[in-house]
Structure 1
Amino acid sequence: MFKKGPKVTSYILLVAITISGISTFMIYPLLVFRLLDVGASIGEIGLILGALSGTGRVCSFIIGSANNRFGSKLTVCSGIFVRIIGISVFAFESHIYSYIILSALASIGSSASALGIKTELLRQSAERKLITMRSMAINSGAIVGPALGAALYHIFSFHIILYISIGTYAILGTILTLTYFSPPESTSFADSHYEVNLNKYSSYIYITLIASAYWAIYSQWAIIVPLISTQALGYEEASNLVYMANAVIVLTLQYPLVVVALKSVKDSTILLLGFSVFLASFAALFIPSSVFMLALFCIGFSIAELLVSPTLDSQTAKVAPAGLGLTRAYGLQDTITGIFSIGGSSIGGLAIETIESPSATAFFGMPVTAIAICLIVILKRFTYRR
């Protein structure tokens, strides 16, 4: 077993997040084209991607409760191997229901490993710095993954890339079985981080509603990017470039903006800024298809993501009700946001299929973003500190 200690575990987990990101993003941008090749419609692809991204989140309260009882190590390792089973379905030409069911299984495994790693890290600190480092690790993998996937796609079939991804997951899961994890809920967060006010449930509810809007918005990315990038640049692998650009923007700007430049700015203000940028990004979809439109959407969406995502995680950790505990607070929130993720992906796919234009995504994304902005304005009236 690797050397015990929270710092060593943190470093290993951050590396594991990066490797997992590489394994995920080397195939994720190619899934739309794989599913089109086997005859799935855009609406069906929306359902499959919704199941892949959102089902695990729907089950996260159950996962969080299991994590609370059995510990992060079992949750993380079992989650990785369940994900392997789920994504294996894309190696075969199968029925739509098989894709949906096994995508849902992969999503459950992914959420289990992600939730276990996140709670293990946040037992040490809920400050922006560690949360941002976690996000940077994710995006480091998201830079390398699409580049590697695109390079391999010119040489090998989708199947070979999928098998490489599966093999990497298997090695990662084996390594993490040898890594030290804290006992189940044995180490609580420092009370000073979370004794903010006595009305945390109200704050937690608002943060969860805002997070739900975020995931409904974020679910549009996987559907819209392959379509608008292919239209603008003329070849399927262009989506990999957009995924890479997104990761580079988040990786290079997140720490300087969120941790340094906005250090003294309240979290609610950062959220308001982030969702305002989302609104502008969706408006860019009404510009005729071009490299300019693609760049505007990608840059705006990426900046909004890097502002909103770590801020929501930080706020959830700070306002998690004592009656739930951190693991179950994240689990319950992920369950609720997962429903919105599946719904958002499905609605977005059906809207594009019905209107036959990628700009249809904006008709869904803009109202959801406006609702989130209204919720943040209400949230700003609460007096809890960052």
Structure 2
Amino acid sequence: MARNPLAADLALFPARLKALLVAVFLTGVTTFMLMPFLAVSLTRSGLSIGQAGTCVAVLLFGQQGLGHVVGILVDRYGTQRILTVGLLLRVAAFVGLMSVNGFGALLVVCALIGAGGCLVTLPIRVEFIQQDPAIRQRSLALRGAAVNGAAILGPPLGTVLLAADFRWVCVAAMSTQIAVLTLLSRRSLRTGEHAGQRHGGLPSTDRDAGQDPRPSVVALLRDRRTVTLLLVAFTFWFSYSQLNTTVALATITATGSEAILSALFVANAAIVLTLEYPVIRGLSARRPSSYLLRLGMIAMSLAFAVLAAGVSIWVLAIFIVAFSAAEIFYSSSVDDVIGRIAPAQGGGRYIGVFSLGDAAGSVAGSAAGSALFALADTGGFTHAYWLAVAALVGAATVLFVIGEQRRPHLSKVEVQV
């Protein structure tokens, strides 16, 4: 009897990696259980809409904008210590969220939740990149599945708890953080467990010879590969953020239905959850991660080009399929590409630089993208905006391809075991 592929892969994963997959799911449930209802709950506590929005913005900035600082801490103190600090900080912040009042206090609490989130997510990302290349891309695909599973479970769970009291949402969030802390403490990363992986460093077989072990940000930005990937990361998250902003606005305007907008989000999470692991598992055996990353960028470009035909139910259906394909190919491949060019040590700092690119793309896509879309909408040129986004993603793809051609091609991961 043939063994289930998922079970076969999990049997190859070290215990720490399995624990990290569970941690990704549980922390994701916490995020998706809280974030859709946070602004509403803050306004119910007496804050104005503007104050509630500021709190949410500070939280989101903390989650993404502190990446480089956290990366330096990871390199110095190791992933487990930083994870522990982040989880404890989030537990304390959730206690504050359900017990304090007033704009100033709640702003501080939201900042702590965001900072704690960065202290958790970035070390986990570093540890995934540290994995043996033979299992790394499969583990990244499972990480994506865990995130999307949480995206499906979190909002309805938050709805049920919010119906009772917002404090129950906070209690559940605290409980998941404590559960993750307990799990990862029991499965702590032992020094030397994986050769060449100390304090965020990458495996010695997966690095460039003679590279500065802990390069500065300036040194990293002098590397053409790093700059190219930063542009790709910025562009991807600029376009990805449109789903929550301009695409959402266009959908409501064109269809007049919030249910259709909700269906888009559910369809996106369901497609990625269902297909990411089997698709990446099959393709990674035959194609390098750089090739899959290009496919993801091309799919994202096509998704927005489709919208130029006019927003309708059928166009949105095609859009979300292409958008989900982009997420599958990109999210499962970008960290594997980064892992192959990251320095031998200082991996946390390196990932931190890319987290800044992600954050910049998200902020620019949400703020500048929405402003540009409003201008296009006023002039009746929304189709031109979609084409502009598609062209931006296409240009980033071309830059990445050129960068690949100017250096030795990334070798294919051998995953036949």
What TM bracket, shorter-length normalisation? 0.7 to 0.9
Q: Please, which of 95, 100, 108 is the counterpart of residue 115 of structure 2?
A: 108
Q: Does 1:383 align with 2:383?
A: no
2:343 aligned counterpart, secondary structure? coil
Q: How many Å separate the matches in 2 of 1:375 and 1:55?
A: 30
Q: What does residue range 155-304 of structure 1 map to in structure 2 within 5 Å?
A: 155-156=163-164, 160-183=168-191, 185=198, 189-195=202-208, 201-224=223-246, 227=249, 232=255, 234-235=257-258, 241-286=263-308, 288-304=310-326
Question: What do residues 143-168 of structure 1 show as CA deviations (whole Å, max 9, x unaligned)?
Answer: 22234335556x44666445533443
2: CA distance between counterparts of 1:25 and 1:115? 18
Q: Tell me the amino acid that sits aligned with residue 252 of structure 1.
A: T
Between the aligned partners of 1:271 and 1:134, the Cα distance in structure 2 is 16
Question: Retained in 2: the 8 A contact 1:270–1:308?
Answer: yes
Residue matched to 2:150:
141
Decide whether the 8 Å contact of 1:50 with 1:345 is kept in 2. Answer: no
Tell me if 1:370 matches 2:394: yes
For the residue of structure 2 that corresponds to 1:384, the secondary structure is coil
The offset of 1:331, in angstroms, is: 1.6
- Aligned mates of 1:373, 1:175 — CA distance in 2: 39
Preserved contact between residue 196 and residue 384 of structure 1 (Cα < 8 Å)? no
CA separation in 2, counterparts of 1:319 and 1:210? 15
Corresponding residue for residue 77 of structure 2 = 70
Conservation of the 8 A alpha-carbon contact between 2:97 and 2:170? no
Do 1:29 and 1:240's aligned partners in 2 also have CA atoms closer than 8 Å? Answer: no
User: What residue in structure 1 maps to residue 415 of structure 2?
Assistant: none
Report the Cα distance in structure 1 between the residues aligned to 2:296 and 2:323, rounded to whole angstroms. Answer: 9
Tell me which amino acid in the other structure corresponds to 2:71. G
Contact 1:23 1:145 in 2 (8 A): yes
CA offset digits 1:112-138 (Å, max 9, x no partner): 211112223333324311222222222
Paired residue for 1:3?
none
- Cα deviation for residue 221 of structure 1 reads 3.0
Which of 300, 321, 324 is residue 343 of structure 2 equivalent to? 321
**Separation of aligned partners in 2, 1:259 and 1:19:** 23
Q: Is the 8 A contact 1:60 1:334 kept in 2?
A: yes
TM (norm. structure 2) is: 0.74
Letter in 2 for 1:117: I
1:27 aligned partner: 34
Alignment match, 1:17: 24
Measured in 2, the distance between the counterparts of 1:105 and 1:273 equals 37
Determine the C-alpha separation between the residues in 2 that align with 1:76 and 1:320. 21
Q: Distance in 2 between matches of 1:262 and 1:281?
A: 23
Letter in 1 for 2:332: P
Residues 208-255 of structure 1: per-residue CA shift (max 9 Å, x gap): 22122222222333334654565647347x655443322221122222
Measured in 2, the distance between the counterparts of 1:120 and 1:341 equals 23
SS in 2 for 1:380: helix
1:358-377 deviation digits (Å, cap 9, x = unpaired): 95973763343133123122
1:132 maps onto 2:132 in alignment:
no
- Cα distance in 2 for residues equivalent to 1:383 and 1:204: 15
Identify which range, 134-143 or 15-24, moves more after superposition: 134-143
Residues 82-135 of structure 1 deviation map (CA, whole Å, 9 limit, x = unaligned) = 34566765998865x877765444332212211112223333324311222222
Aligned residues: 375
Secondary structure in 2 matching 1:124: coil
Letter in 2 for 1:185: R
Q: Structure 1 residues 377 and 94, CA, compared in 2 at 3 Å: closer, same or farther? A: farther
Task: Rate the CA distance shift 1:276–1:40 in 2: closer, same or farther, 3 A.
Answer: farther
- CA contact 1:146–1:243 (8 Å) conserved in 2: no
Name stretches of at least 5 consecutive residues in structure 2 with no aligned partner.
Answer: 1-12, 192-196, 213-219, 412-417
Higher relative contact order (CA 8 A, sep 6+): 1
Q: CA deviation at 1:318?
A: 0.5
Q: Identify the range of structure 1 (194-203 vs 371-380) with the bigger mean alpha-carbon deviation.
A: 194-203
Let me know the Cα RMSD of the aligned residues: 3.9
CA distance in 2 between partners of 1:285 and 1:99 (Å): 39
Cα distance in 1 for partners of 2:251, 2:28 equals: 21
Residue in 1 that maps onto 2:216: none
Percent identity among equivalent residues? Answer: 23
Amino acid at match of 2:339: A
Contact 1:228 1:289 in 2 (8 A): yes
2:111 and 2:251 map into 1 onto residues whose CA distance is: 27
Shift of residue 307 of structure 1? 0.6
Change (3 A) 1:320 1:181: same
Q: How far apart are 1:333 and its partner, in Å?
A: 1.9
For 1:85 and 1:292, how far apart are their aligned partners in 2? Answer: 46
Tell me the secondary structure at the aligned position of residue 264 of structure 1.
coil
Query: Is 1:80–1:173's contact at 8 Å kept on the other side of the alignment?
Result: yes
Per-residue deviation at 1:52? 3.8
The one-letter code matched in structure 2 to 1:142 is A
